[in-house]
Amino acid sequence: MSLVSRVSRRLLGLLATLFAASFVIFAAVYAAPGDPAVFLAGGRDKLTPERLATVRAQYHLDEPLVVQYGRWLWDCVHFDLGRSFKYSDQVSDLVAARFPTTLQLVAYATVLFVVLGVGAGVLAAVKRSTWVDSAVVGGTTLAASVPSFVAAIALVSLFGVQLGWFPVTGSGEGFTGTLHHLTLPALSLALGALAIISRVTRQAMADAAASDHVEAARASGVPERDIIRRHVLRNALGPIVTMCGLVTAGMLAGTVVVETAFGISGIGSLLVGAINTHDFPVAQAVLLLMVTGYIVVTTLVDVVHPLLDPRVKGATS
């Protein structure tokens, strides 16, 4: 099968998944306890049954779920995500203003955990069964056992408040400003992933190193450095990339705790605020965006995987 047809099949699958996910999200947000009309009606002085009925009618909250979903989907495919109940602003504007921050945060965290995690994994694999190996495994396990909010608080109080090296709130301006502001948040996010990635790298490399052609290469006198780079690491890349992709995709949905701790207005804090205030249009849009992000990243990994590993390509065609 050609690359084009494989990608287009993936795209179709992606759309179908999105469609299903959008309905589940819509229904879930709709079913959440609490009445958005109470919030929309404004102050409690206005909470008369008549007033609530007017508000429900005005926002089509009195219609059956499927009709509401249809209306929402119709607007969505016309690139209209509606207006926020809480902020009077367009949902698309709200999301567009916050998404880059979250994306930068996740990208930064990804760079950190890939470089540090894969690096540590390679180190552990190369120095297998030495004290370096034990130190890497122990250190990363310790890092992974710290929840990101605890890491966030610890990092803020040490590097932000005590030492004053990094800003403690906001997302910064310009490239260096953003880098400076997002270092601690990205580090808190990346810490948890370090252990997984380094462990997967170490194992994948061990498996690759045990394969016959590596033994053969080693026997024919190829330098150890080349063996590791060309044979071991290359063959181990599949599982490593897959795991990195999955972790990154998961992060897209998991930044809220770190955003809160560092006072960053990203997509995560937008979502939590929207859920707390029954701001349906925003909650739906953000959740859909997160699901889309997840699906896109995992699809990308799927598409890239065979390119890295000829054996997988052979198996699927």
Partner 1 sequence: MRTSQRGRHAVAAGLAATALLATASCSGADTAATGGAPADAAKLKLTAETPAAKGHQDKANWLLEDEPDSLDLDTQGSSAGRVVLTNVCERLYQLKPDMTVKPFLAGKARTPDDRTLVLTVRDGVTFHDGSELTADDVLWSLERHADPDMEQADEFGNVRSMKKTGAREITIRFKAPDALFTKALAGDAGIVWNKEQVVAAGKEFGTPGQDDACSGPYTLGSWKSGDSLTIEAYDTYWGTKPLTDRVTFRWASDSALVNALKTGAADGAYAESPNTASALRGAKGIDQYYGPSTASLVLIPTARGGLKDPQIRRALSLAIDRTGIARSGFGGLVQPWATPVGSGAWGYEKQRFAAAQRELDDVAPASPTADDLAEAKRLVKSAGAPTDPVVIGTDSSQGRTVVANAVRAALQRIGLKGQIKTVPTAQFEEFYSDPGARADIDVLVGDWYISKADPMGFYDNGLSDSSNNWVGFKDKAYDKLVHRALGTLDDKRRADLTLDVQRRFSDAAVWIPLAQVPSALVIDDRMTGPPASQSYLYYPWAARLGLKKG
List contacts with partner 1 (CB under 8 A). Answer: 33-35, 38, 42-47, 83, 86-90, 93-94, 97-98, 101, 150, 153-154, 156-158, 160-162, 164, 167-171, 260-263, 265-266, 270, 273, 275-276
In angstroms, what is the minimal distance from the CB of 144 to partner 1?
19
In angstroms, what is the minimal distance from the CB of 228 to partner 1?
40
In angstroms, what is the minimal distance from the CB of 64 to partner 1?
23
* Nearest to partner 1 of 94, 186 (CB atom): 94
* Nearest to partner 1 of 139, 263 (CB atom): 263
In angstroms, what is the minimal distance from the CB of 84 to partner 1?
8
In angstroms, what is the minimal distance from the CB of 168 to partner 1?
4
User: CA 94, 27, 265 angle in degrees (round to 5)?
Assistant: 25
Q: From CA 90, how far away is CA 94, in angstroms rounded?
A: 6
* Nearest to partner 1 of 164, 314 (CB atom): 164
* Nearest to partner 1 of 139, 160 (CB atom): 160
Q: From CA 151, how far away is CA 258, in angstroms rounded?
A: 9
In angstroms, what is the minimal distance from the CB of 262 to partner 1?
6
In angstroms, what is the minimal distance from the CB of 21 to partner 1?
24
* Nearest to partner 1 of 148, 171 (CB atom): 171
* Nearest to partner 1 of 98, 305 (CB atom): 98
DSSP string, the chain: --HHHHHHHHHHHHHHHHHHHHHHHHHHHHHSSS-HHHHHT-SGGG--HHHHHHHHHHTTTTS-HHHHHHHHHHHHHTT---B-SSSSSBHHHHHHHHHHHHHHHHHHHHHHHIIIIIHHHHHHHHTTTSHHHHHHHHHHHHHHTS-HHHHHHHHIIIIIIIS--S-SSS--SHHHHHHHHHHHHHHHHHHHHHHHHHHHHHHHHHHHHTSHHHHHHHHTT--HHHIIIIIIIHHHHHHHHHHHHHHHHHHHT--HHHHHHTT---HHHHHHHHHHTT-HHHHHHHHHHHHHHHHHHHHHHHHHHHHH-HHHHHHH-
* Nearest to partner 1 of 245, 266 (CB atom): 266
* Nearest to partner 1 of 258, 291 (CB atom): 258
In angstroms, what is the minimal distance from the CB of 153 to partner 1?
5
